C-alpha cells in the first residue's frame, strides 16, 4: 500500500475543503543550487498561502510520499545529494523499494491526482528536446498531461527545448495549451515568442471552468496554462540564444543523455548568465504559484 504523509497544513486544508496547489520538488533537487533552492521553495510556498491557497510540495522520502513538506524536511531535502529524479516510469519503483526521489512534473501530477489536488504550479515543463529526431528525447511530462487530470501552470517551454515540436506533441496528445492573458506562447525567460498559444484565456475563472468541462466530458488529461514571466524579470530571447546553443553543444560533446540532459542545460545556463537565469526563474515560478492559487480557488466555486 502507498503511504501518504500529509503536512499539517495540507491535512487542515483537506479537512476544511480549502484550495490546495501542488508544487514539484525536482526544481529543488535538480533545478537550482543550494541554498537558493530552499529559499525559493519556501518563498513559493508562502506565495501560495498569501494568494489564499495551501501549498503541497511533493517528494518521496524513504518510500513515503509526502504531500506538503514541513520546514525542516524542506531544509534537509535541499541539501541531499543522490536524490532520484522521478517521473512516471520510476515513481512506483522508488516508493516500493523505500527510496528517495524528487518529483518531476509528470510524477507531481500523479501525486496530485492521488491526493485529490487539481492544480499544480511549476516553472517550466519538460518537452521535446532539440535533436529529438535522433535522440527520441521527449519528456514524459507531455504524455502525463494527456492522461492525468491536473491543470499545470508553467511559464511556457524553455528555449532549451524544441518549442514548435513540443507544441505539436501536445496537440497530438490532445492537451489544451492556454496562453494566459496574451496570444503569444511564452518562452520561459521571455514573455513572448514568435509562436502563438493554441488557446487564450484572460481569467482564472475561465481556466477553472475549462478544467471542469473536461472532467464533465469524460476527457482524460489535464491542461497546460502558459503564464508569461513578469515583464520586469524577462531576459530577451536573442540574448539567451547563443548561451543556450553553447550549453547544448557542450551537452552533445560530453555525451549527456536521458535524465541528465535537462539538469545539465539548466546548470550551464545558470553559469553562463552569471546567475541571471536563476533570478528570472524565481520570478516566474512565484508568478505561476499566484495564478495557480487563483485557479484552485475558482475551481471550488464551480
Ligand atoms: N524545466 C525547467 N526546470 C526544471 C525542469 C524542467 O525549466 O526544473 C524539471 C521539471 O521537474 C520537469 C523535468 O518535469 O525537469 C523534465 O525532465 P525531463 O526532460 O528529463 O523529462
Ligand atoms: Mn528526457
The pLDDT profile of the chain, 302 residues, written as one tens digit per residue, is: 888 999 999 999 999 999 999 999 999 998 888 999 999 999 999 999 999 999 999 999 999 999 999 999 999 999 998 899 999 999 999 999 999 999 999 999 999 999 999 999 999 999 999 999 999 999 999 999 999 999 999 999 888 899 999 999 999 999 999 999 999 999 999 999 999 999 999 999 999 999 999 999 999 999 999 999 999 999 988 899 899 999 999 999 999 988 898 889 989 999 999 989 889 999 999 999 999 999 999 999 99
Q: What does the alpha-carbon distance between residue 110 and residue 200 come to, in Å, rounded to a whole number?
A: 26
d(CA 101, CA 29) in angstroms, rounded, equals 9
| CATH number for the domain whose boundaries are 123-302 | 3.40.1790.10
Q: What is the value of pTM for the model shown?
A: 0.96
Whether 175 is in the pocket of ligand 1, judged by its Cβ within 6 Å, is no
pLDDT of residue 255: 94
* Distance of alpha carbon 201 from alpha carbon 243, whole angstroms: 32
Residue ranges with strand state E in the chain: 4-6, 20-23, 54-61, 64-67, 84-86, 101-103, 119-121, 151-154, 177-180, 199-201, 223-226
Distance CA 241, CA 8 (A): 44
CA distance 34 to 80: 10
Task: Select from 1, 117, 8 the least CA-distant residue to 63.
Answer: 1
Task: Give yes or no for residue 298 CB within 6 A of ligand 1.
Answer: no
Q: Do 1-117 and 123-302 show the same overall fold?
A: yes
User: Which residues have a catalytic role annotated?
Assistant: 24, 158
Question: Which ligand places an atom closest to the C-alpha of 136?
Answer: 2
Can you name the CATH fold of 1-117? Indigoidine synthase fold (3.40.1790)
- Between the CA of 16 and the centroid of ligand 1 the distance, in Å, is 32
102 phi, psi to nearest 5 deg: -90, 150
Ligand 1 atom closest to the CA of 127, numbered from 1:
19
For the Cβ of 101 lying below 6 angstroms from any atom of ligand 1, the answer is no
ipTM over 0.85: yes
Ligand 1 atom with minimal separation from the 102 CA:
11
List C-alpha distances in Å: 44 to 38, 40, 53, 264, 289.
Answer: 10, 6, 12, 23, 6
Say if ligand 1 is within 6 A of residue 103 CB.
no
* pLDDT attached to residue 45: 98
Question: What pLDDT sits at residue 236?
Answer: 87
Residue 225 CA to ligand 2 center (angstroms) comes to 21
Ligand 1 atom nearest to CA at 281: 7
Kindly state the cell numbers that stand for 283: 520570478
Domain ranges of the chain: 1-117, 123-302
Nearest ligand to the C-alpha atom of residue 140: 1
Residue whose Cα lies nearest atom 3 of ligand 1: it is: 124
Amino acid at each position: 500500500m502507498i503511504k501518504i504523509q500529509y503536512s499539517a497544513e495540507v491535512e487542515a486544508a483537506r479537512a476544511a475543503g480549502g484550495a490546495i496547489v501542488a508544487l514539484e520538488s525536482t526544481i529543488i533537487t535538480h533545478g537550482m543550487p543550494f541554498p537558493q533552492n530552499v529559499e525559493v521553495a519556501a518563498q513559493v510556498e508562502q506565495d501560495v498561502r498569501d494568494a489564499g491557497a495551501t501549498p503541497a510540495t511533493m517528494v518521496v522520502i524513504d518510500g513515503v510520499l509526502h504531500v506538503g513538506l514541513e520546514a525542516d524536511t524542506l531544509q534537509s531535502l535541499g541539501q541531499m545529494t543522490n536524490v532520484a529524479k522521478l517521473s512516471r516510469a520510476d515513481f512506483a519503483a522508488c516508493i516500493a523499494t523505500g527510496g528517495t526521489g524528487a518529483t518531476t512534473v509528470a510524477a507531481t501530477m500523479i501525486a496530485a491526482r492521488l491526493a485529490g489536488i487539481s492544480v499544480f504550479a511549476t516553472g517550466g515543463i519538460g518537452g521535446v528536446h532539440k535533436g529529438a529526431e535522433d535522440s527520441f528525447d521527449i519528456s514524459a511530462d507531455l504524455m502525463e498531461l494527456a492522461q492525468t487530470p491536473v491543470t499545470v501552470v508553467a511559464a511556457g517551454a524553455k528555449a532549451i527545448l524544441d518549442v514548435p515540436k513540443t507544441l505539436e506533441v501536445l496537440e497530438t496528445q490532445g492537451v489544451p495549451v492556454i496562453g494566459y492573458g496574451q496570444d503569444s506562447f511564452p518562452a520561459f525567460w521571455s514573455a513572448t515568442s514568435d509562436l502563438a498559444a493554441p488557446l487564450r484565456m484572460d481569467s482564472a475563472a475561465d481556466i477553472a471552468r475549462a478544467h471542469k468541462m473536461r472532467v464533465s466530458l469524460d476527457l482524460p488529461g489535464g491542461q497546460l496554462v502558459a503564464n508569461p514571466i513578469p515583464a520586469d524579470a524577462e531576459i530577451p530571447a536573442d540574448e539567451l540564444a547563443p548561451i543556450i546553443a553553447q550549453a547544448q553543444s557542450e551537452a552533445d560533446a560530453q555525451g549527456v543523455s536521458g535524465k541528465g540532459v535537462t539538469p545539465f542545460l539548466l546548470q550551464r545556463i545558470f553559469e553562463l548568465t552569471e546567475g541571471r537565469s536563476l533570478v528570472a526563474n524565481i520570478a516566474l515560478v512565484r508568478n505561476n504559484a499566484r495564478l495557480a492559487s487563483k485557479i484552485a480557488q475558482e475551481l471550488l466555486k464551480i
